Amino acid sequence: MPAPTAQRLQDAMTRLRARLRSESGQNATGLTATQLGVLASVVREGPVTAAGLAAAEHVSAQAIAQSLAVLKAAGLVHSEPDPQDGRKKLISADASAAELVDRLLSGRATFLARAIDQMVAPEERAIVEKAIELLERLAEADLSGGGI
């Protein structure tokens, strides 16, 4: 793929992410996209260790620790000793965290559904479905072994 096409895709995804943050009310939470991503992982995967979160989010342990500190201070997550290994801490989400994540995800989905209804012609809907499949494949790409 030519570099300009890859750049256009990156620019479009950046603009769409910014629009989704705005439309969902994410900007009003005071939390960064990274912090909200970590929170969503805790809601979805929890209870989970910080190391498990780092692996799931593809970030360093230090980045997870920084995000968790903010989320703990906000009362959105808490930790307790792992009953199987007391040296580890399990991170769990507060009920308010699940509500926040649900509200944000619902806001994003509502915006996207309205935008697709208004901007994508019925005969183009299959193209959107194919684009989603391709984006999912790109998100899962493991290029460390030389590609596909």
Q: What is the pLDDT of residue 139?
A: 86
Instruction: Give the 3-state DSSP-derived string for 102-132, with helices as H, strands as E and coil as C.
Output: HHHHHHHHHHHHHHHHHHCCHHHHHHHHHHH
Give the position of tokens 């009310």. 25
Rounded average pLDDT per 10-residue block, the chain, 148 residues: 88 92 87 90 91 88 93 94 86 94 92 95 96 92 70
All structural domains of the chain, each given as residue ranges with its CATH number in brackets, are 14-139 (1.10.10.10)
Q: What is the pLDDT of residue 87?
A: 86
Q: What is the pLDDT of residue 102?
A: 93
Q: What is the pLDDT of residue 94?
A: 93
Its pTM stands at 0.72
How far from 141 is each of 2, 12, 121, 137, 147, CA to CA, in Å? 18, 19, 30, 6, 8
Q: What is the pLDDT of residue 133?
A: 95
Q: What is the pLDDT of residue 146?
A: 56
